Amino acid sequence: MVKMLDGMTDEQRAALIRKLARENPLLAFRLQQRHFGFADLQYADDGGLDRLLNSFETDAWLEALYGTPDALFRTFVNRMGADAGRKFVLASQAMASPSARTTEAARKAILIKAYILRDQGHLTVSIPGMKSDFV
């Protein structure tokens, strides 16, 4: 099931998890705890986001956050601090559009690091509506 989720877009993955949550909340919760997408990083804890941000250079973040929803973009910019966040926003506005391949590669690298941090206990993703009384 996790491999199937890996092949889906964030939107497809979210829709499947929501549907599964209606039919089998425990299974949906366990899958969500094991798997999250790039867009789900907006629900990561502050300490985990700080570690993740410090793991990559600005260029990787510019590529990864290109074209993302505003809420996700803001989540990361807000963790950067005022001066660094302002510089990042200006750089994102001035940059040339990265290719879809470049953007996807940057997101994948960041997501892999997020999984590593999660497995080490340094990052927690708490997606709204995905809490369970069973676990």
**Mean pLDDT for back-to-back runs of 10 residues, the chain (135 residues):** 68 79 75 74 94 96 96 94 96 95 94 88 80 39
Q: Tell the CATH topology of 2-119.
A: Annexin V; domain 1 (1.10.220)
- Structural domain spans, the chain: 2-119
pLDDT of residue 132: 41
Q: What is the pLDDT of residue 133?
A: 37
Distances in whole angstroms, Cα of residue 30 to Cα of each of 42, 50, 54: 19, 25, 28
Query: What pLDDT score was predicted for residue 3?
Result: 64
Looking at residue 96, its pLDDT comes to 94
Tokens of 124: 């927690």
Q: Determine the 3-state secondary structure of 125 from DSSP.
A: strand
- In the numeric block, the tokens 């505003």 are attached to 70
107 near 73, Cβ under 8 Å?
no
With tokens 């089998």, the residue in question is: 24
Nearest to 34 by CA among 57, 7, 5, 11: 5
Q: How far apart are CA 44 and CA 46, in angstroms?
A: 7
Can you tell me which residue has the tokens 């995905």? 130
